[in-house]
Amino acid sequence: MTALDARVANSFDFHLMPRVLGAPLGRALFRSQLEDFQVDEIIDLQPSGEGEHLLLHIRKRDQNTTWVAGMLAKLAGINRNDVGYCGMKDRFAVTTQWYSLHLPGRELDTGQLEHDDFEIIACCRHHKKLRRGMHLGNQFNILLREFKVDSALVTERLRLIEQQGVPNYFAEQRFGHEGGNLYEAQKLIAADQLKGNRHGTGIYLSAARAWLFNLVVAKYIERGDLSDHTGPLWGRGRSNASVDNRQIESEVLADWQGWCYALEHAGLKQERRNLLLKPENLTASWTQADCLRLQFALPSGCFATALLRELAELFRPKFEAL
């Protein structure tokens, strides 16, 4: 384990993860206003027009996905488990996404679902519940403020991001404030209590799995080779990685066997995830001398901050740099 590996591993600090394009070009104020971070879900959905589920296209502000799901269930008078959605969206943002409500044999006036923190853009009937991972990705519209950098340098850095891609890290949202989800996962693993989502520990399972993946990404960056490789989302089952990849992963995770064992016995199946992330349709424009607007699409499960950190050191008024 290198000095960087040890420092990262011992601190659970995502900000110490290595970059591929060198130091950020400068500091930028990030998400100082809700409208600075806008996300629209991309989904290949063709509603059947009939069925037991009511689909709702919703725009929410300053609320997370699960809170909206719970409020929809309450307003509709149904069980929380009868509300479906495809993916989690950030809270401090303006986002759009689809929800499904299981309402067999029942018509519902959407006026009953009105709330100050979200609005219904469209609704229709469908024969299937929406489930996690059904969406294709997300379209981002992000404004970076107080970004005092030569525009030519920004143009060149964005060209490299678009052509070469960035590390497909799980970002800080997955790990909680100051890595809190990872510290909790560590305690549960030590007590042999990381048992699966049905025990209320799903968020910690997800964080632990993501951290191990990020450590593998960091190792490949150290080796100077991210392209055409995948990394492990640890769980039970045989890995389909190449012999060389398995060797590298074994070296990286040698000190994390307790975590690997816990994930294998928590009901998760082993999966693979691309180490490299390339944005689609990346565009940039300066709305003011120091305000840069970025628009791009990412596949589902990928994080905009994994891209942004290759461009700028992000900071928020009440938080440390991201």
Residues carrying an active site annotation: 90
DSSP 106: -
- Give the count of alpha carbons within 13 A of 264, CB side only: 10
Contacts of the segment 298-303: beta carbons below 8 A, 24+ positions apart: 298/137, 298/138, 298/140, 299/136, 299/137, 300/86, 300/87, 300/133, 300/135, 300/136, 300/137, 300/138, 301/87, 301/133, 301/273, 302/137, 302/138, 302/168, 302/277, 303/169, 303/170, 303/171, 303/173, 303/174
Residue with tokens 């910690």: 204
- DSSP result, 188-226: HHHTT----GGGT-HHHHHHHHHHHHHHHHHHHHHHT--
* 88 to 96, 134, 217: CA distances (angstroms): 11, 12, 23
